[in-house]
């Protein structure tokens, strides 16, 4: 049976041309870019070109692009680097209850070191109120961190409005986790008043283990890793030249086709929701397609559904038997049997938060794939319905 991969939020397939580029570079440019000989210099030129390319696509100067191992490191560096660099003895940081684990757990870890945190609530769709962000600001606040696109539900946060309001508090840095947004939704990090912006290559057709952090000029961060002076001393470690070049190529391709890809994926999302509307056992967590300004309030590639009372691993394994590959919660939390922290924060009951699945699609999908997905969702739910009581 053919398998259909609907887990792009966890990781996207690498683009064939990106795989080819990376393979060729592994053969030709294996020297350490920090080396003084010619091969090292040639490798460093490739890194510099990739940095300039990423900066151009992201609206940043080349020196504002810091290479990392991925979204988790970028988020950790932005948060902990800001806190550790702040001169204040009393420090306070702000985030929301629906952030990715790499942000949420960073805040929890900093609490153990005496950093005061404020975790802001969200509404029933998972959106934070910009007014709540402003009200949380104190004289000792050093950082606000809010994701652009939620990795479980696809809900888009009001980043531009939050940034506008935070401009009145110049002592506060604004970090945005843009991992699920790059290549899929519009952004303008500087125009929106964002100081630090995280991205991850394997979310837009690039290799795993590569990411970047955009650091606005003038912002200083304390490094997490000590060693060499790579990345202006912010992030030590030998550059992964093939991976960095591959990431820049994948980003260019994703951004160049973003509008058409976004339109295609949003049309598929709308069709899937119409199909789900005929499956009463399933409920949508997030923004409905028929709501006002829906396209600006949700990412086009993520649909989060709950089957209240049914354990998510039961749904996922049954769908897999029928060739449908989806996930539950985020990939980082998918093996947990606990209710989704994000759905609980949105005010949903435990049975709904415990029975959610995440469907996320991408460039290889067409409308006929959504029809197949819908048919098999109906088939699986019909088979599972008699087991509903026993699965609780």
Q: What tokens were used for 123?
A: 């509404």
- Backbone dihedral region for residue 158 (phi beyond 0: left; psi -120 to 50: alpha; all else: beta): beta
Burial of 368 (0-12, 13-18, 19+ CB in 10 A): exposed
* 96 tagged catalytic: no
Phi, psi of 233 (to 5 degrees): 80, 0
Q: What tokens were used for 241?
A: 């030249």
| Cα–Cα distance for residue pair 350/348, rounded to 1 Å | 7
Q: What tokens were used for 21?
A: 């580029």
Q: Which of 332, 344, 372, 379 is catalytic?
A: 332
Contact predicate 326/357, CB 8 Å: yes
| Cα–Cα distance for residue pair 314/311, rounded to 1 Å | 6
Instruction: Give the chain's end-to-end CA distance (angstroms, integer).
Output: 30
Q: What tokens were used for 122?
A: 């969200």
DSSP β-ladder status, 356-360 and 302-306? antiparallel
Contact predicate 55/251, CB 8 Å: no
Phi, psi of 143 (to 5 degrees): -155, 140
Mapping DSSP to helix (H, G, I), strand (E, B) and coil, where does residue 170 land?
Answer: coil
Mapping DSSP to helix (H, G, I), strand (E, B) and coil, where does residue 303 land?
Answer: strand
Residues marked as catalytic:
332
């Amino acid at each position: 049976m053919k398998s259909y991969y609907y887990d792009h939020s966890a990781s996207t397939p690498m683009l064939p041309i990106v795989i080819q580029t990376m393979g060729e570079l592994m053969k030709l440019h294996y020297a350490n870019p920090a080396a003084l000989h010619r091969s090292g210099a040639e490798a460093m030129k490739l890194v510099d070109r990739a940095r300039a390319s990423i900066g151009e696509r992201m609206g940043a100067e080349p020196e504002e692009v810091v290479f990392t191992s991925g979204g988790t490191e970028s988020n950790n560096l932005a948060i902990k680097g800001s806190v550790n660099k702040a001169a204040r003895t009393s420090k306070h940081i702000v985030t929301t209850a629906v952030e990715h684990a790499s942000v949420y757990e960073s805040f929890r870890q900093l609490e153990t070191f005496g950093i005061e945190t404020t975790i802001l609530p969200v509404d029933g769709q998972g959106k934070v109120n910009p007014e709540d962000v402003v009200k949380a600001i104190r004289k000792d606040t050093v950082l606000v961190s809010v994701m652009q696109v939620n990795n479980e539900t696809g809900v888009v946060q009001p980043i531009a409005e939050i940034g506008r309001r935070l401009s009145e508090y110049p002592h506060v840095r604004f970090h945005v986790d843009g991992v699920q947004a790059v290549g899929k939704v519009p952004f303008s990090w500087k125009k929106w008043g964002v100081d630090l912006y995280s991205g991850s290559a394997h979310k837009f057709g690039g290799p795993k283990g590569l990411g970047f952090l955009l650091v606005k000029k003038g912002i200083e961060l304390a490094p997490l890793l000590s060693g060499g002076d790579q990345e202006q001393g912010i992030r030590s470690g030998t550059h992964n030249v093939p991976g960095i070049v591959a990431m820049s190529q994948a980003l260019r391709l994703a951004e160049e086709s973003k509008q058409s890809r976004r339109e295609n994926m949003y049309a598929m999302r709308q069709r899937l929701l119409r199909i789900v509307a005929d499956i009463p056992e399933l409920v949508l967590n997030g923004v409905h397609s028929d709501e006002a300004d829906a396209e600006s309030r949700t990412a086009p590639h993520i649909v989060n559904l709950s089957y209240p009372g049914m354990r998510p691993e039961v749904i996922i394994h049954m769908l897999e038997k029928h060739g449908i590959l989806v996930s539950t919660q985020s990939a980082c939390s998918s093996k947990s049997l606990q209710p989704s922290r994000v759905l609980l924060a949105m005010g949903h009951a435990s049975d709904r938060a415990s029975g959610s699945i995440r469907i996320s699609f991408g460039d290889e999908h067409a409308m006929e794939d959504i029809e197949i997905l819908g048919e098999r969702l109906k088939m699986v739910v019909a088979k599972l319905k008699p087991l509903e009581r026993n699965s609780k």
